[in-house]
Amino acid sequence: MMEKKSPHILNASSNLLGFSLIIITSLKITKISQNTYLDEFAGLSCLLFACSCFFSFLAIRTQNEKRENRFETIADYLFLIALFCIVLAVLIVTIKII
């Protein structure tokens, strides 16, 4: 039997959601995001991390094993896409600074 990933996804997603919100806040304060897609990637990652948190929470709470696996898979893919968006945002910041 495979180990359940939902608690790990929930923990990582909620932490990275906070990180994404810090990125967006700092972008608004420094006004660095003009002429880049930085705030779009950070905003999209926020939405995807929030949805990943939601589905991983549902996977933890459901009693139906088939539904649990489906919710966990959805949360996993949303987390992966959000992580990709954060990496793009970090790359844009790095290129902008250099």
Question: Tens of pLDDT along the chain (98 residues)?
Answer: 467 888 899 999 999 999 889 888 887 887 776 667 888 888 999 999 999 999 999 999 999 999 999 999 999 999 999 999 999 888 887 887 77
DSSP state of 36: S
Question: Can you read off the two tokens belonging to residue 57?
Answer: 């929470």
Residues 6+ apart with CB under 8 A from 72: 4, 5, 6, 9, 55, 56, 59
- At residue 14's C-alpha, the angle toward residues 8 and 17, to 5°, is 135
Question: Can you read off the two tokens belonging to residue 19?
Answer: 């990180």
Give this prediction's pTM. Answer: 0.87
Q: Contact 67/34 with Cβ under 8 angstroms?
A: no
